[in-house]
C-alpha cells in the first residue's frame, strides 16, 4: 500500500526481490521467532493497558468511568450500556464523545483522556523513564493519520526498549 501527499492510498505491487528484502517483521501475518520477543510485546501491551487505566481512573467522573468500562472493556454497544445504566443511548454517546455546545465540542470521556495524555506526555518529554516512553507512544498513537504499520512499529520499539533496559 502506498500513500500520496493527500493521504490517499493505492495498492502497489512488489517484485520478488523487493519482497525478499522486506524484513519478516514488516510482512502480514508475522509471527515472532522467539518467545522472548512475544513476551516483550505482551509486557509492553500490559504496561500500556495499566497506563491507560490510570488515565481512566484519574480523569473521568464515576459515570464516565462506568460508561467507558462497559463500552470499551466489556465491548457492549451504546444501546446495551444505556439499558444497563438506565440512561438513554444519546446520553451514553455524550459521556463518550461529548456534545456540541456553542459551536464547540465539550466534555466526553475520550476527549478528556486524550487531553490528559497529551499534557502528561508534554510534561514528561525528554525524560528517559519507562513511564515517559509509554506516554510518548500514547501521544504518537493519538495522531489521526497513524497507520496500523506505525502502531505495530511503536509497540515493537517499546518492547525492545523494555528488553534492553531490563
The answer to whether 96 and 105 have CB atoms below 8 angstroms apart is no
| 165, three cell numbers | 533496559
pLDDT digits (tens, 9 = 90+) for 15-67: 777 767 776 666 666 665 667 777 888 888 888 888 888 988 999 999 999 99
Q: In this structure, is residue 84 part of a structural domain?
A: yes
| 31, three cell numbers | 509471527
Q: What is the domain count for the chain?
A: 1
pLDDT digits (tens, 9 = 90+) for 129-150: 888 888 988 888 887 677 777 7
Burial 123-157 (b: 16+ CB within 10 A, else e): ebeeeeebebbbbbbbbeeeeeeeeeeeeeebbbe
Residue-range definition of the domain harbouring residue 99: 34-165
pLDDT digits (tens, 9 = 90+) for 79-132: 999 999 999 999 999 999 988 888 888 889 989 998 999 999 999 888 888 888
The answer to whether 116 and 59 have CB atoms below 8 angstroms apart is yes
Question: How far apart (Å, rounded) are the C-alpha atoms in residues 91 and 98?
Answer: 9
- The reported pLDDT for the residue numbered 27 is 61
Q: In this structure, is residue 9 part of a structural domain?
A: no
In the structure, what pLDDT confidence band is assigned to residue 156 with cuts at 50, 70 and 90?
confident
Question: How far apart (Å, rounded) are the C-alpha atoms in residues 100 and 140?
Answer: 26
Query: Does this model's pTM top 0.95?
Result: no
Q: Which residue has the higher pLDDT, 146 or 68?
A: 68
Q: In this structure, is residue 79 part of a structural domain?
A: yes
N-terminal to C-terminal alpha carbon distance within the chain: 36
Question: How far apart (Å, rounded) are the C-alpha atoms in residues 137 and 125?
Answer: 11
- The secondary structure of residue 9, as a DSSP letter, is E
Q: In this structure, is residue 22 part of a structural domain?
A: no
Question: How far apart (Å, rounded) are the C-alpha atoms in residues 31 and 55?
Answer: 31
Q: In this structure, is residue 123 part of a structural domain?
A: yes
Q: In this structure, is residue 59 part of a structural domain?
A: yes
Amino acid at each position: 500500500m502506498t500513500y500520496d501527499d493527500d493521504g490517499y492510498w493505492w495498492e502497489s505491487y512488489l517484485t520478488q526481490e523487493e519482497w525478499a528484502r522486506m524484513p519478516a517483521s514488516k510482512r502480514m501475518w508475522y509471527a515472532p521467532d522467539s518467545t522472548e520477543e512475544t513476551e516483550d510485546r505482551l509486557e509492553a501491551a500490559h504496561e500500556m493497558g495499566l497506563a491507560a487505566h490510570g488515565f481512566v481512573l484519574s480523569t473521568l467522573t464515576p459515570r464516565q468511568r462506568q460508561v467507558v468500562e462497559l463500552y470499551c472493556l466489556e465491548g457492549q454497544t451504546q444501546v446495551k450500556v444505556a439499558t444497563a445504566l438506565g440512561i438513554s443511548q444519546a446520553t451514553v454517546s455524550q459521556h463518550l464523545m461529548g456534545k456540541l455546545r456553542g459551536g464547540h465540542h465539550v466534555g466526553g470521556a475520550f476527549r478528556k483522556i486524550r487531553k490528559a495524555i497529551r499534557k502528561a506526555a508534554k510534561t514528561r518529554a525528554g525524560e528517559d523513564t519507562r513511564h515517559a516512553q509509554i506516554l510518548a507512544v500514547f501521544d504518537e498513537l493519538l495522531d489521526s493519520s497513524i497507520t496500523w504499520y506505525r502502531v505495530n512499529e511503536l509497540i515493537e520499539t517499546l518492547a525492545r526498549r523494555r528488553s534492553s533496559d531490563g
